[in-house]
């Protein structure tokens, strides 16, 4: 029996939980943020420009396929 697999970029596991998928998305967003460290420290780049970098690519990395995530009551607290 397959424990988990990636389908269309989303991690699917046999428990039906989205927990591992969400952890993976958080990690991918964290890696993307780390790659932009030089940008965050550059004083020549305006804050609005830095915010647009967060709002477009980073949010899309984290929120990819989030409409398919199911939240348990314990997750909503």
Residue 23 lies in a domain: yes
User: Which pLDDT belongs to residue 54?
Assistant: 81
Residue 70 clears pLDDT 80, i.e. is over it: no
Residue 34 lies in a domain: yes
Total domains in the fold of the chain? 1
Domain with 23, as residue range(s), is 18-68
Residue 76 lies in a domain: no
- Most confidently modeled range among 12-16, 41-45, 55-59: 41-45
Token pair 């389908």: residue = 7
pTM for the whole structure: 0.70
User: Which pLDDT belongs to residue 59?
Assistant: 82
CB 42 within 8 A of CB 29: no
Residue 13 lies in a domain: no
User: Mean of the per-residue pLDDT values for the chain?
Assistant: 84
Residue 5 lies in a domain: no
Residue 44 lies in a domain: yes
Residue 58 lies in a domain: yes
Burial classification of residue 25, based on how many CB atoms lie within 10 Å of its CB (0-12 exposed, 13-18 middle, 19 or more buried): buried
């Amino acid at each position: 029996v397959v424990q988990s697999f990636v389908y269309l970029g989303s991690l699917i596991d046999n428990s039906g939980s989205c927990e591992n998928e969400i952890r993976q998305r958080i990690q991918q967003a964290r890696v993307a943020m780390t790659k932009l460290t030089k940008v965050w420290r550059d004083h020549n780049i305006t804050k609005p420009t830095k915010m647009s970098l967060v709002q477009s690519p980073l949010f899309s990395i984290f929120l990819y396929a989030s409409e398919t995530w199911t939240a348990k009551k314990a997750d909503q607290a």
